[in-house]
Amino acid sequence: MLLKHTTPKEIDRKALTINPAKTCQPVGAMYAALGLHGCLPHSHGSQGCCSYHRSALTRHFKEPVMAATSSFTEGASVFGGSANLIQSINTIFTVYNPEVIAVHTTCLSETIGDDMTAIISKAKDDGFIPEGKKVIFCNTPSYIGTHVTGYANQVTSFVKNFSTSTLKKKNVVNLVAGWMEPSDMREIKRLAKEMEARTILFPDFTDVLDAPMDGKFHMYPAGGTTIEEMTATGDSKFTIGMGPYSTEDACIALENKCKVKFDMVDIPIGLKATDRFLMSLSRHANVPVPDSITADRGRLVDLMADSATNLYGRRVALWGDPDTLIPLCEFLVSMDMRPVYVVSGTSGKLFDVRMKEILKDIPEAKFKSGERADMFLMHQWIKQEGVDLLIGNTYGKYIARDEDTPFVRFGFPIADRSGHNYLPKTGYNGAAHLTTQILNALLDHQDRTCPEEKVEFQL
C-alpha cells in the first residue's frame, strides 16, 4: 500500500496541506507565456523555481520547455533583484534573441519587494531592450492563489501590454483559452474554422507544446499567438473567455482597455459546455453552426446512448482545476454518472456555486476547494465509501492502485502517460474521446476483476 498512512477517519487539520491538489503561481505564468510566439518566459527568482517549472512542464508535455532565470543569490535577497533582472534582460536579448521576454515574479522577489515597472524601465533606459523588442511582466507571488492564478495573470499581462484599439473594429472574435492542452486548442480552432468564424486564439500552444519532430531544436517553435495577432485583439468586435478562473481577468482588462465586450463560457468539455461555446461563437461571429459540426454532436449523443447502461450510477472522484472540473462534472452528470467527490486546491466562490448547481441531484456528493482541499482529504473520503472511477492528474495513481479503482488521467500534471497533448478533450469529438477513455477504464477493470463465469464476449 503506497498510501498506507491514510485513515478513513478525517483528521482535524489546522495548518497543513498533505499531497496538494494545486501548485504555485509561477508555473502557470510560465506555461501561458509559452503560448505567445517568440516569447521566452523568465522567472525572476532563485534558479530552482525555473528548474522545477521547466521540469514539471517538460514531464507533462514531453517537449522542450525553454525559460530563463534571474538566478538570485544571497546578495539579491538583501539588495533586491534589480541588477539580476537587468543583466538577465541583456543576456537574453544578446544570446537567445526572443521577440518578447515575459517576466514573472516568485515568492522571493515579491517578498523582497522588487518594483518590476521601475526595473524594466531602467533596463530600457540603459539600452538593454533592442528596438522592436518587448519585456512584459506579471506579479505571481507563490503565496497567493495557485498555478491557475499565475496563468490568469500572465494572460492578462498579454492584454495589458499588447492589445491595442485603433478604433476600427474588425469582424473578429477573440477566443481566450483557459488552462487546456494544445490538442484542446487545435480542436477549438478547427471548430471555428469549420464555422468560418474569424478568430484570434490566445494563448495558443499548438505547434509549441505538440510540435512535430523535424530533427532540429527550435528555441522558439512555429506556433503561438503572434504579437501582431495579440495587438489586433483590441480591434476585435467581441471576446469569448473559456474558463472564468483562467481568463476572466484578461477579458475584463480587454474590455476596459479597448472596449471589447465579452462572454464568459466554460472550457468546452462535454456536450452542454460545447453547445454553449458554439452558440456563443455562432452568435458573436454571426455565423451558423454548419451541418458537419451538428453531425459531430449527433455522433457524440449516439455514443452516449450506446454507453448509457455502462455509465449509469457510477460513482466518480475528481480533482484538478475549477475551469475543467466544472464542465467535466456537468458532462458526467449528463451521462448519468455520479461525481461524488470533487476537490480543487484552487479556491473561489464560483466553484462552490456551480458545483452546488451541477450536483444538486446527487445528495451524497462532497466537494471542497481551497485550503486543505487536497489529495489526502480526497483519499479519506474514498476510504469512507469507495468510488468506481477516478479522474484527475497523475497524483491520483497511488489512490488508484491502493483502492484498485479505474483511473482516467485528466489535468496537470500528467507525467506517466502520453497523448494528452495530441488527443483533444474539447468539442464534441473531444467529448467522444473522453467518453471512450472512461468506458475503457471501467470495462477493462470489470473484465479483469469480475468472476470468470461473468466474463462475456459482448458488453
Give the footprint of another protein on residues 127-156 (CB under 8 A): 141-144, 146
C-alpha cell at 321: 482545476
In sequence order, the β-bridge partners of residue 39 are 100
Nearer to another protein, 26 or 234 (CB): 26
Residue count at the site for another protein (CB under 8 A)?
Answer: 85
Whether 258 and 167 have beta carbons less than 8 Å apart is answered as: no
State the Cα–Cα distance between residues 414 and 409, nearest whole angstrom: 7
Q: Does 420 bind another protein (CB under 8 A)?
A: no
Q: What count of Cα atoms within 13 Å lies in the side-chain half-sphere of residue 146?
A: 23
Q: Does 59 bind another protein (CB under 8 A)?
A: yes
Nearest-approach distance from CB 162 to another protein, in angstroms: 22
Q: Does 85 bind another protein (CB under 8 A)?
A: yes
State the Cα–Cα distance between residues 382 and 319, nearest whole angstrom: 12
For the window 370-409, what string marks contact with another protein as x by the rule CB under 8 A? Answer: -x----x------------------x--x-----------
Helix (H, G, I), strand (E, B) or coil at 110: helix
Nearer to another protein, 15 or 167 (CB): 15
Nearest-approach distance from CB 1 to another protein, in angstroms: 8
Nearest-approach distance from CB 61 to another protein, in angstroms: 8
Binder of another protein out of 29, 30, 32, 50 (CB under 8 A)? 50
Instruction: Tell me how far apart the 2 most distant CA atoms of the chain are, in Å.
Output: 79
Nearest-approach distance from CB 122 to another protein, in angstroms: 15
134-138/100-105 β-pairing: parallel
Whether 209 and 421 have beta carbons less than 8 Å apart is answered as: yes
State the Cα–Cα distance between residues 5 and 399, nearest whole angstrom: 12
User: Which residues, 332 to 371, sit near another protein by CB under 8 A?
Assistant: 345, 371
Q: Which stretch binds another protein (CB under 8 A): 40-48, 191-199, 290-298, 443-451?
A: 40-48
State the Cα–Cα distance between residues 456 and 355, nearest whole angstrom: 37
Neighbours of 163 (CB within 10 A): 23
Binder of another protein out of 34, 37, 39, 69 (CB under 8 A)? 69
Which residue in this structure is represented by grid cell 451538428?
A: 294
Q: Which stretch binds another protein (CB under 8 A): 90-98, 189-197, 286-294, 313-321?
A: 90-98
Nearest-approach distance from CB 310 to another protein, in angstroms: 33
DSSP 271-308: HHHHHHHHHHHHHHHT-PPPHHHHHHHHHHHHHHHHHH
Helix (H, G, I), strand (E, B) or coil at 259: coil
For the chain, the first-to-last Cα distance in angstroms comes to: 32
Classify residue 204 as exposed, middle or buried by CB count within 10 Å of its CB (0-12, 13-18, 19+). Answer: buried
Q: Which stretch binds another protein (CB under 8 A): 106-114, 256-264, 270-278, 430-438?
A: 106-114
Q: Does 242 bind another protein (CB under 8 A)?
A: no
Q: Which stretch binds another protein (CB under 8 A): 67-75, 248-256, 352-360, 384-392?
A: 67-75
Neighbours of 253 (CB within 10 A): 17
Q: Does 49 bind another protein (CB under 8 A)?
A: yes
Q: Does 64 bind another protein (CB under 8 A)?
A: yes
Nearer to another protein, 88 or 426 (CB): 88
Nearer to another protein, 20 or 290 (CB): 20
Nearer to another protein, 16 or 118 (CB): 16
Q: Does 293 bind another protein (CB under 8 A)?
A: no
State the Cα–Cα distance between residues 21 and 345, nearest whole angstrom: 5
State the Cα–Cα distance between residues 106 and 27, nearest whole angstrom: 10
Q: Does 100 bind another protein (CB under 8 A)?
A: no
User: Which residues, 433 to 452, sit near another protein by CB under 8 A?
Assistant: none
User: Which residues, 199 to 228, sit near another protein by CB under 8 A?
Assistant: 211, 213-219
Nearest-approach distance from CB 458 to another protein, in angstroms: 37
Q: Which stretch binds another protein (CB under 8 A): 88-96, 163-171, 311-319, 421-429?
A: 88-96
State the Cα–Cα distance between residues 148 and 28, nearest whole angstrom: 6
Nearer to another protein, 26 or 35 (CB): 26
